[in-house]
Copies of this chain bind each other. A is one copy, B any other.
């Protein structure tokens, strides 16, 4: 699970608007954290990854602020929190298509799965369990092609 290097050059205006949710104040910190996520399109960043990315531009940005801000961005519907089973949360832009993940047990590589692949199964799960599924996100464990190949 690597950290994509980001320039954190400056948010485009559309992004600034996006994170300026009602009741929220647009702070330098919130902008920087949002940027780190945006610069990392398609990837997954943990709180620690965000801390690293942001630290270059704001050495004093405290981790407590990062956790609080990530929470708020999730609440505001701008981020999705994902559990990849690594004992920590990962965050990705909510604007991306909803999807599921396959994690390589060997190297940690993460691949995305389109919703349609699992969609037809949800009704069966609901019928069998009696539960109403709410925003279920699946994480599959496996070995990626590279790790599977004879070395």
Interface residues of A (CB under 8 A from B): 83, 85, 87, 102, 104-105, 111, 113-114, 117-118, 120-121, 124-126, 128-145, 148
Q: A125-B102, A125-B113 are in contact. Are A137 and B132 (CB under 8 A)?
A: no
Bound-state Cα–Cα, A117 to B126, Å: 10
Q: Which residues of B contact A118 (CB under 8 A)?
A: 121, 125
**Could you give 6 example pairs across A and B, Cβ below 8 Å?**
A83-B85, A105-B134, A131-B142, A136-B140, A136-B142, A137-B141
Q: Give the residues in chain B near A136, CB-CB below 8 Å.
A: 140-142
* Of the residues B117, B124, B125, B129, contact of A124 by C-beta under 8 Å: B117
Decide if the interface of chain A is mainly helix, strand, loop or mixed.
mixed
Q: Which residues of B contact A87 (CB under 8 A)?
A: 87
A89 closest partner in B (C-beta): B87
Q: Are A131 and B143 in contact (CB under 8 A)?
A: yes
Partner of A128, one of B114, B144, B145: B114
Query: By the criterion CB–CB under 8 Å, are B125 and A133 in contact?
Result: no
A113 to B135, CA, bound (A): 18
